[in-house]
């Protein structure tokens, strides 16, 4: 069976490609950007790389070409990790987030509903659709998005469920805690903190790091998506999280302890990002029961693995962009 990974250049997308190649599947990858440096690509050295075909295509500009590839190669499984990311930046030009994450996706889904070879479409969404929550939430939590980014994700999730009800579209919705691990982009909090602590740079800690998050290791993300494909029920939603909720300040302190850096000298408090919610925490009981999935790498283990990766590649990383580069 063939797999198509939309957003294969993303951190989670590349982790999934690596996992699927290890499982000896044939994989097609589509991302609008070209493949990044191998330092930031989990599957770059996979021995089964000849089973992977990559296309640099934009879902907004190249939708017809994407349709041709799907029609020709007939992937039975499609995993959607593509889209316009970043929370704070979505306030600058929200129409770009709506165009990419809603309009372009609906065009794709309307095409895919006619593809009888499609067995499962896994949508990788975000807990930010729930907005600010006071405690761990289940999959039935009402949507209350706080940013254009979150609004766009909530809208396409609702659209996919409408397609499921109307056309029996084979969608499985998934929502993940914050991704992290080796190969992650350097503008994300964990690799950035590690790199800065190893290279004597000071870290900007937005809002003092009071917001709380759960994190999930890259390999556990890939295993979760695979479980959703194989065992997920169509039209259902599943949560994936480590269950370990931690404040960003305590996360940075944990990394400082492991890299032997003084937290107080390392961080600079900066204004918080607009629209950022204080807590995302998801109940994974349903996922554990129906998909037999649980995280295998806890936060301490995962951070140590990520520190080892950064240490091994620190010279190369200092030549790479450290900030998010927005693409319209």
Q: For 133-155, how does the pLDDT look when each residue is reduced to its tens digit (9 = 90+)?
A: 777 899 999 999 989 999 999 99
- Under 8 Å between Cβ of 159 and 102: yes
pLDDT at site 187: 87
The residues of the chain scoring below 70 in pLDDT are 272-278, 322-328
Q: Where are the domains of the chain?
A: 2-179+217-240, 182-213+244-279+297-317
pTM for the predicted model, two decimal places? 0.94
What's the CATH class of domain 2-179+217-240? alpha beta
* Closest among 59, 2, 25, 7 to 221, alpha carbons compared: 7
Helix (H, G, I), strand (E, B) or coil at 301: helix
Three-class secondary structure of residue 41 per DSSP:
coil
How big is the chain by its Cα radius of gyration, in Å?
A: 19
DSSP string, 37-64: -GGG-TTTT-TTGGGEEEEE--TTT-HH
Q: Which CATH class is domain 182-213+244-279+297-317?
A: alpha beta
Taking each helix axis as running N to C, give the angle between helix 104-112 and helix 63-73, from 0 to 180 degrees, rounded to the nearest 10.
30
Can you tell me the distance from the alpha carbon of 156 to that of 80, in angstroms, rounded to the nearest whole number? 11
């Amino acid at each position: 069976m063939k797999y198509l990974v939309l957003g294969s250049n993303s951190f989670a997308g590349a982790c999934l490609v690596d996992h699927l190649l290890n499982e000896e599947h044939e994989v097609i990858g589509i991302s609008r950007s070209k493949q990044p440096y191998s330092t930031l690509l989990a599957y770059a050295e996979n021995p089964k790389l000849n089973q992977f075909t990559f296309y640099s295509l934009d879902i907004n500009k190249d939708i017809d070409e994407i349709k041709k590839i799907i029609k020709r190669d007939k992937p039975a499984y499609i995993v959607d990790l593509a889209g316009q990311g970043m929370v704070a930046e979505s306030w600058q030009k929200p129409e770009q987030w709506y165009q990419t994450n809603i309009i372009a996706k609906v065009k794709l889904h309307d095409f895919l509903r006619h593809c009888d070879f499609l067995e499962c479409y896994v949508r990788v969404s975000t807990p930010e659709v729930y907005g600010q929550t006071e405690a761990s939430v289940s999959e039935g939590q009402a949507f209350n998005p706080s940013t254009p980014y979150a609004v766009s994700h909530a809208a396409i999730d609702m659209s996919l469920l409408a397609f499921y009800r109307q056309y029996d579209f084979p969608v499985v919705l998934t929502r993940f805690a914050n991704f992290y691990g080796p190969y992650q982009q350097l503008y994300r909090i964990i690799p950035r903190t590690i790199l800065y602590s190893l290279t004597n740079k000071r870290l900007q800690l937005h809002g003092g790091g009071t917001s709380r998050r759960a994190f999930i290791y890259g390999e556990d993300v890939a295993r979760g998506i695979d479980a959703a494909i194989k065992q997920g029920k169509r039209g259902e939603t599943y949560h994936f999280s480590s269950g370990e909720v931690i404040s960003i300040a305590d996360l940075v302190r944990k990394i400082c302890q492991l890299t032997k850096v003084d937290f107080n000298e390392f961080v600079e408090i900066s204004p918080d990002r607009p629209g950022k919610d204080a807590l995302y925490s998801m109940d994974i009981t349903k996922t554990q029961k129906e998909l037999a999935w649980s995280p295998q790498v806890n936060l301490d283990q995962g951070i140590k693995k990520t520190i080892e990766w950064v240490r091994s590649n620190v010279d190369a990383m200092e030549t790479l962009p450290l900030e998010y580069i927005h693409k319209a």
